[in-house]
Amino acid sequence: MRESRLDRSPALRSLETATWQSGGLSGELSGRIQKPARWEMGILVAQRRIPSRVSGLGSITALDALYVALVSGFIGVPGLVSVRDHTVFRPVPTRRGMRVTEGGVELEVPGEQTEGIEEAVFYNPRQELNRDLTIATLRAYREREDRATSYLDAMTASGVRGVRAAADGWDVTCCDVDEEAVDLARENLERNDCEAATVEHWNVNALMHDSTFDVIDLDPFGTPMPFADAAFANCRDLLCVTATDTAPLCGAHFNSGVRSYSAVPRNTDYHAEMGVRILISALARSGARFDVGVEPILTHATSHYVRTYLELTHKPTAADAAIDELGQLYHCEDCLYREADPGLIADPLETCPHCGGNRMLTAGPVWLGAVQDSEFIAAVRDEIPYTFDTAPAARELCDTLAAELDEPTHYDQHKLCRNWGLPANAMDDFLADLREAGYAASRAHYGGTTFKTDASVGEIRAATEGNLD
Ligand SMILES: C[S@@+](CC[C@H](N)C(=O)[O-])C[C@H]1O[C@@H](n2cnc3c(N)ncnc32)[C@H](O)[C@@H]1O
């Protein structure tokens, strides 16, 4: 087990409850450490005092006793124990705004009255799942690439990502162009004893051209593309990207999508996935300009944003390989037939090969390659402690992502059935029929009625309609 869970977590200071495991035993501790824990010559000194309630102990070993001593305020040895995180505070209004806690860190954020409700400025609670998954991804990535130590929270706002990464042992730089955000991030880092982190008040494009980081996290308002070139110029290992401009990405705001992504997005029944593939295509083309190849290792479209984690390889051949993953999607608006066509040169279909209709759309260049690495996602899932507020949803999301077939588009069972004038049946039965007919089929994370298969739209109907009643 990594010692960093303990030694690098100043959030231990505010520990109220924690589950722990050691030597095959587990238990629960409750209480509050009054002062931060620190490492001295490899020994953790937790400066008093966490009254501990240890449950579930059949017998106690010497190691467990040592651990209990550690969290009770005495000593501990790195590597023997792990505290699986903890739940601490609920958002509390304060004189200056609001105090919020997330993943074991505590933040103070200015509040603002919106429609009579106090809302935190610079802090969006709806992105907590995104941030919980980011922390889990950083933990899993550190196991995959041990040279990765530095993390740039490129648009830091309240500093929440930077604080959480610093509390997890990353060498953190936070940046924001807004002076108020920079002050806030500094205060929040200090509040969590993360003074070693650096805060830059700068346009992050200048910072990224100037300095190298192992991991860069782009989390802007709207499209990330104005920051992509600078990120590829100097990011060594992992680029984490959020895009919140889903309407342009999926083709609903067509001109804006074309402008931002230098591609043609089309509004289809798989609109969130259109967004995923337009975004990664644009990022792959940006990376290629710097001879950097991208490999998406985790990607999700959740509520109103797309998030992707790209592992980078700095080689012209890797950039070529990424460009080879681009292509076009031909889509029939009548029967929902779709076809992927690799390559940068489109050869659009004028009529639908399935229904003969002429309402065909062409989207591209889109990323046709894999957007997940199932093994990595399983590792990420294991790094989501139950005490993260979004743990159940985040773990379920990881399970679905890991099992999702590597196909460039998904279907929506209800839309297909509506199109066929047939009632939908239970999703599990529907997928079982596809598998029985010899096709691969999986659920997709885009919604409860979405799925992926290697069957064409005609083959799907033939395989399933017997049981649609
Ligand atoms: C969506 S917020 C970031 C939210 C934050 N990462 C989180 O997880 O809560 C976007 C931030 O980007 C900052 N920003 C916008 N343009 C920037 C630029 N060119 N350089 C640095 N920061 C920028 C804004 O001031 C704002 O604080």
Are 294 and 340 part of one and the same domain? Answer: yes
Domain endpoint, select from 58, 87, 116 = 87
Range of the domain at 251: 125-403
Atom number in ligand 1 closest to CA 158 = 9
154/293 same-domain check: yes
pLDDT recorded at residue 111:
77
If you measure from the C-alpha of residue 111 to the centroid of ligand 1, how many angstroms do you get, rounded to a whole number? 17
Residue with CA closest to ligand 1 atom 9: 123
Residue 110 lies in a domain: no
Residues 6+ apart with CB under 8 A from 6: 12, 37, 44, 76, 78, 81, 82, 83
Residue nearest to atom 13 of ligand 1 (CA): 155
Residues 412, 219: Cα–Cα separation, whole Å: 29
Residues 176 and 61 in one domain: no
Cα–Cα dist 48/70, whole Å? 9
Report helix, strand or coil for 207.
helix
171-176 and 198-201 as β-strands: parallel, antiparallel, unpaired?
Answer: parallel
285 and 375 assigned to the same domain: yes
Q: Is the same domain home to 153 and 287?
A: yes
Instruction: Specify whether 391 is located in the same domain as 427.
Output: no
Domain annotation covers residue 55: yes
Domains in the chain: how many in total? 3
Say if 286 falls within a structural domain.
yes
CA dihedral over 398, 400, 402, 404, signed as positive or negative? negative
Mutate to test the pocket of ligand 1, among 163, 176, 241, 302 (most ligand atoms within 8 A of CB): 176
Do 339 and 202 have their domain in common? Answer: yes
Residue 469 marked ligand-binding: no
Q: How far is the CA of 158 from the centre of ligand 1 (A)?
A: 9
221 CA → ligand 1 middle, Å: 7
Chosen domain end from 362, 378, 403? 403
144 annotated among ligand-binding-site residues: no
- Choose the residue to mutate in 107, 177, 307 for probing ligand 1, maximizing ligand atoms within 8 Å of C-beta: 177
Ligand 1 site residues (CB inside 6 A) read 123-124, 127, 131, 155-158, 160-161, 175-178, 181, 203-205, 219-221
Q: Are residues 56 and 145 in the same domain?
A: no
**Within a domain: residue 97?**
no
CATH code of residue 424: 3.30.56.70
Looking at the fold, whether 415 and 394 belong to one and the same domain comes out as no
Q: Is 277 annotated as a binding residue?
A: no
Give the ligand 1 atom nearest the CA of 217. Answer: 6
278 with 427, same domain: the answer is no
The Å distance, Cα 164 to ligand 1 centre, comes to 16
Rounded to the nearest whole angstrom, what is the distance from the C-alpha of residue 183 to the centroid of ligand 1? 13
Residues 179 and 280 in one domain: yes
376/298 Cα distance (integer angstroms): 8
In a structure prediction context, what are the per-residue pLDDT tens digits for the chain, which is 469 residues long? 333 333 333 334 333 334 444 434 344 443 333 333 433 333 333 322 333 333 333 333 333 334 444 554 433 333 333 333 333 324 556 666 788 999 999 999 887 656 556 666 789 988 999 999 999 999 999 999 999 999 999 999 999 999 999 999 999 999 999 999 999 999 999 999 999 999 999 999 999 999 999 999 999 999 999 999 999 999 999 999 999 999 999 999 999 999 999 999 999 999 999 999 999 999 999 999 999 999 999 999 988 999 999 999 999 999 999 999 999 999 999 999 999 999 999 999 999 999 999 999 999 999 999 999 999 999 999 999 988 999 999 999 999 999 999 999 999 999 999 999 999 999 999 999 999 999 999 999 999 999 999 999 999 999 999 999 7
Among candidate residues 352, 373, 403, the one where a domain is terminated: 403
Name residue 223's amino acid: T
Would you say 174 is a known binding-site residue?
Answer: no
User: Is residue 265 domain-resident?
Assistant: yes
Give me ligand 1 centre to Cα 271, in Å: 26
Residues 236, 140 within the same domain:
yes
CA 205 to ligand 1 center in whole angstroms: 12
Residue 122 has a pLDDT of: 87
